[in-house]
């Protein structure tokens, strides 16, 4: 059955002669006729016809760090955000077990009404101290933290300006807010400056959103320049540190430590607990008014169950371990730099990457990326392809996430295998 186009969607439905009621096209009543699902089937069926197996939803049989076990076989793993090896760390695991014994596996309610536990506040105080700001609030989802924070704080009279490569969660939050959305070219501070020169007077509140490390490309913004621009144009600045916390700075404190900035230089610090901090969820850190406001009124916090105590305890333990063990931060930085240097020397297109844990190998088509991923998997290396529409078709890639526990030999052998498999452009 053909896909219904947008023009047809706008036309009134014809009347069914038997009932006199409007006749609803079958495509509107079946999930298997949804345009998104039909597109998914076309991609999956096409890949199957040419013998390319799906690289997604692999079943890991233990802790996924620098190594993992899939289907009973051990792999060198570059598909995990476990940057500092904290997921699986005995101290972190014990903290989670102790929290289960003390608090159970769930707080069973919204924190506002009856779900608060001491470990939540301990984690939030530790995050606020990490950033040198007044307070922090944690959410059960990093994606939801962006959606509900932007969606609640800004509205139709406001403007949100973001880097063109910003994460989906930011775009969803802007859509929810009803604010006007404008983007600027990747990491182009001058373009942002010109945009705000023209647009700022037309709006009440203006928010600029950046990432600490861009998750597809592995590069970072010149944060001091963006801070200067936001001050001059009287805007708020939000930095998503999902991939930069634990990876940038001498002690893992992120992009502000990398540049030597005070925490209050940025209005809204956002990050996730699922990467360097070995948990699940997100956080917002900043001034008291921001955090108190979100805790009492942001729907994604107010109407959501609180974070499970063992998750909060694990992330708190991971945060403390990170600060106690700067050698892990140094290790992930060194391994990332090594992979980037070796890949570039071998003629692999690594795009914008600066070597901070995220290194793409851009290969130019989704089919080629999927085949390369499958070839490397057969050779004992697990690395995921990033395909259209997540990135433009010509920018399809393999995306390598580097861990502090990767060895130099693992990285050197991986680059060699990638070259042998045809990973150069």
Q: Kindly report, residue by residue over 65-123, the tens digit of the pLDDT.
A: 999 999 999 999 999 999 999 999 999 999 999 999 999 999 999 999 988 999 999 99
At 281, which CATH number? Answer: 3.40.640.10
My answer on whether 247 and 285 are in the same domain is yes
My answer on whether 265 and 388 are in the same domain is no
My answer on whether 164 and 287 are in the same domain is yes
At residue 19, the pLDDT reads: 65
Range of the domain at 238: 107-307
**Is the pLDDT at 9 greater than 60, yes or no?**
no
How many structural domains does the chain have? 2
> Is 45 inside any structural domain?
no
> Is 15 inside any structural domain?
no
Alpha carbons 158 and 268: distance in angstroms, whole number: 16
Alpha carbons 45 and 353: distance in angstroms, whole number: 33
Q: What are phi and psi of 57, to 5 degrees?
A: 60, 40
**Is the pLDDT at 55 greater than 60, yes or no?**
yes
Give yes or no for a contact between 402 and 78, defined as CB atoms under 8 angstroms apart: yes
Alpha carbons 181 and 346: distance in angstroms, whole number: 40
Burial of 30 (0-12, 13-18, 19+ CB in 10 A): exposed
Work out the average pLDDT over 280-296.
98
At residue 206, the pLDDT reads: 98
My answer on whether 175 and 222 are in the same domain is yes
**Is the pLDDT at 4 greater than 50, yes or no?**
no
Q: How many CB atoms lie within 10 A of CB 236?
A: 19
Give the pLDDT confidence of 164-175 residue by residue, as tens digits.
999 999 999 999
Query: DSSP label at 114?
Result: I
My answer on whether 177 and 234 are in the same domain is yes
My answer on whether 394 and 331 are in the same domain is yes
Which pair of structure tokens corresponds to residue 344? 């570039």
Of 25-34, 170-179, 369-378, least confident by mean pLDDT is 25-34
At residue 50, the pLDDT reads: 65
> Is 3 inside any structural domain?
no
Work out the average pLDDT over 217-226.
98
> Is 19 inside any structural domain?
no
Give the pLDDT confidence of 310-334 residue by residue, as tens digits.
999 999 999 999 999 999 999 999 9
Give yes or no for a contact between 215 and 244, defined as CB atoms under 8 angstroms apart: no
Catalytic residues: 215, 243, 275
> pLDDT tier at 268 (50, 70, 90 boundaries)?
very high
> Is 132 inside any structural domain?
yes
My answer on whether 69 and 175 are in the same domain is no
> Is 55 inside any structural domain?
yes
CA angle 378, 380, 384 (to 5 degrees): 80
At 370, which CATH number? Answer: 3.90.1150.10
> Is 315 inside any structural domain?
no
At residue 10, the pLDDT reads: 55
My answer on whether 210 and 79 are in the same domain is no
> pLDDT tier at 389 (50, 70, 90 boundaries)?
confident
pTM of the model: 0.92
**Is the pLDDT at 382 greater than 50, yes or no?**
yes
Alpha carbons 298 and 49: distance in angstroms, whole number: 47
At residue 14, the pLDDT reads: 60
Residue pointed to by tokens 């621009």: 229
My answer on whether 59 and 133 are in the same domain is no
At residue 129, the pLDDT reads: 98
Work out the average pLDDT over 291-302.
96
């Amino acid at each position: 059955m053909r896909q219904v186009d947008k023009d047809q969607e706008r036309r009134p439905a014809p009347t069914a002669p038997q009932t006199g009621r409007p006749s609803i096209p079958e495509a509107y009543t079946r999930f298997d006729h949804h345009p998104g699902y039909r597109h998914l089937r076309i991609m999956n069926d096409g890949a199957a016809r040419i013998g390319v197996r799906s690289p997604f939803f692999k079943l890991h049989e233990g802790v996924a760090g620098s190594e993992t076990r899939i289907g009973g076989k051990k792999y060198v793993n570059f598909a995990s955000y476990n940057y500092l090896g904290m997921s699986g760390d005995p101290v972190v695991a014990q903290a989670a077990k102790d929290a289960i014994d003390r608090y159970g596996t769930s707080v069973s309610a919204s924190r506002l009404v009856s779900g608060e536990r001491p470990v939540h506040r301990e984690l939030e105080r530790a995050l606020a101290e990490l950033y040198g700001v007044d307070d922090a609030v944690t959410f059960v989802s990093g994606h939801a933290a962006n959606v509900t924070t932007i969606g609640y704080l800004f509205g139709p009279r406001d403007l949100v300006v973001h880097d063109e490569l910003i994460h989906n969660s930011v775009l969803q939050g802007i859509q929810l807010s009803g604010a006007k959305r404008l983007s600027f070219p990747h990491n182009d501070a001058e373009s942002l400056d010109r945009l705000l020169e023209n647009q700022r007077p037309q709006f009440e509140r203006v928010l600029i959103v950046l990432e600490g490390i861009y998750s597809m490309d592995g590069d970072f913004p010149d944060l001091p320049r963006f801070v200067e621009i936001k001050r001059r144009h009287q805007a708020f600045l939000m930095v998503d540190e999902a991939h930069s916390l634990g990876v940038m700075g001498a002690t893992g404190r992120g992009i502000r430590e990398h540049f030597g900035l005070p925490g209050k230089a940025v209005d809204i610090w956002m990050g996730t607990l699922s990467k360097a901090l070995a948990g699940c969820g997100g956080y917002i850190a900043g001034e008291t008014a921001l955090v108190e406001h979100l805790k009492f009124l942001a729907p994604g916090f107010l109407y959501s169950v609180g974070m499970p105590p063992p998750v909060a305890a694990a992330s708190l333990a991971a945060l403390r371990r990170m600060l106690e063990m700067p050698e892990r931060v140094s290790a992930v930085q060194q391994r990332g730099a090594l992979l980037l240097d070796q890949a570039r020397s071998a003629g692999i297109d690594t795009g914008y990457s600066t070597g901070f844990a995220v290194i793409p190998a851009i290969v130019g088509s989704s089919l080629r990326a999927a085949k390369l991923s499958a070839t490397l998997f057969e050779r004992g290396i697990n690395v995921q392809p990033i395909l259209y529409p997540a990135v433009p078709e010509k920018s399809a890639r393999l995306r390598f996430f580097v861990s502090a526990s990767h060895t130099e030999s693992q990285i050197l052998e991986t680059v060699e295998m990638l070259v042998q498999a045809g990973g150069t452009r």
